[in-house]
Amino acid sequence: MNISEIKRRGMVMLGCGKMGSAMLAGWLHGALSPSEVWVVDPHPSDWLKGLDGLHLNADLPETPALIVVAVKPQMMDAALPDIGRFGGGDTVILSVAAGVTLARYEAVFGAGTPIVRAMPNTPSQVGRGITALVANAPGQAALAVSAELMNAVGQSVMLEDESQMDAVTGVSGSGPAYVFHMIETLAAAGEAQGLSPDLAMALAKATVGGAGQLAEDSASDPAQLRKDVTSPNGTTQAGLEVLMAELPDLMTRTVKAAADRSRELGA
């Protein structure tokens, strides 16, 4: 399958909330046109309603090239039977639902159906996402076009085995929320030292955003970047001595909790 095939036969999106809308916006920016997309969503946004030519809650094509499953994992049992009829052919199923395994999809669509699991994250909304991909045996041929689609909203990586997906969920899938909370707490700590709330928040946002950009763009690894900004016996060292005493264990437990929950959702 390739983009031309999707354009010819159509793409169906089952669910189109914030993540689905972010992906769709990226795809409509160049790869696809609204007339080549069918969206099934009981509560469509005003943005979806305003897309001229989009097939919104309309009859689906007989043999779409791709079905993107973007509903919440808790809604999967109710949603999947409606599209189970598309299994057994060459329609590719691309899932962005956390914790829902390839085996669970194969139980609905059949083991011969090409299925790709993807774990994007919320920075996809600003074109800075990262998505991990893995497929069943029939879906291996669809990994390249799946990566091409996900690269429209950031970058993508291929996993060696599906068992890695729960860890990916704990690191990059849930990770933006950890960073947002770090911004909250960093700003609150600035307030405690006498800064106004607005100034503390502006400093925290810019610091985390800038440091993340520097880490991604630099040839040095984050450990070296940390050392570069840490003068012996200086202010940064004083702060790091407190942070490094607790953060490694805290982050390990945080990621494990999210990964464990992902496993529970897929059970």
The answer to whether the annotation marks 71 as part of a ligand binding site is yes
- One-letter amino acid at 200 equals A
- Tell me the domain boundaries of the chain: 3-162, 174-266
The answer to whether the annotation marks 10 as part of a ligand binding site is no
The answer to whether the annotation marks 80 as part of a ligand binding site is no
For the domain spanning 3-162, the CATH number is 3.40.50.720
The answer to whether the annotation marks 18 as part of a ligand binding site is yes
What pLDDT is attached to residue 179?
Answer: 98
Distance CA 170, CA 262 (A): 8
What pLDDT is attached to residue 84?
Answer: 86
Whether residue 12 is predicted with pLDDT greater than 90 in this model: the reply is: yes
3.40.50.2300, 1.10.3730.10, 1.10.3720.10, 2.40.33.10: CATH of 174-266: 1.10.3730.10
pLDDT more than 70, % of the chain: 100
What pLDDT is attached to residue 132?
Answer: 97
Neighbours of 32 (CB within 10 A): 19
The answer to whether the annotation marks 102 as part of a ligand binding site is no
The answer to whether the annotation marks 13 as part of a ligand binding site is no
CA distances 240 to 27, 193, 214, 221, 245, Å, are 42, 17, 19, 17, 8
The answer to whether the annotation marks 73 as part of a ligand binding site is yes
The predicted model scores a pTM of 0.87
The answer to whether the annotation marks 16 as part of a ligand binding site is yes
Distance CA 224, CA 234 (A): 17
Contact at 8 Å (CB) between 68 and 14?
A: yes
The answer to whether the annotation marks 19 as part of a ligand binding site is yes
What pLDDT is attached to residue 71?
Answer: 87
- Per-residue pLDDT reduced to its tens digit, 166-192: 999 999 999 999 999 999 999 999 999
Burial class (CB in 10 A: 0-12, 13-18, 19+), 197: exposed
Whether residue 236 is predicted with pLDDT greater than 90 in this model: the reply is: yes
What pLDDT is attached to residue 28?
Answer: 92
The answer to whether the annotation marks 119 as part of a ligand binding site is no
- Per-residue pLDDT reduced to its tens digit, 150-165: 998 899 999 999 999 9
Query: Which residues lie below 8 Å from residue 158, measured CB to CB, with a gap of 6+?
Result: 132, 133, 134, 143, 147
- Per-residue pLDDT reduced to its tens digit, 40-70: 999 999 999 999 999 999 999 999 999 999 9
Q: Which long-range contacts (CB under 8 A, 24 or more apart) does 47-56 make?
A: 47/21, 48/16, 48/21, 55/10
The answer to whether the annotation marks 176 as part of a ligand binding site is no
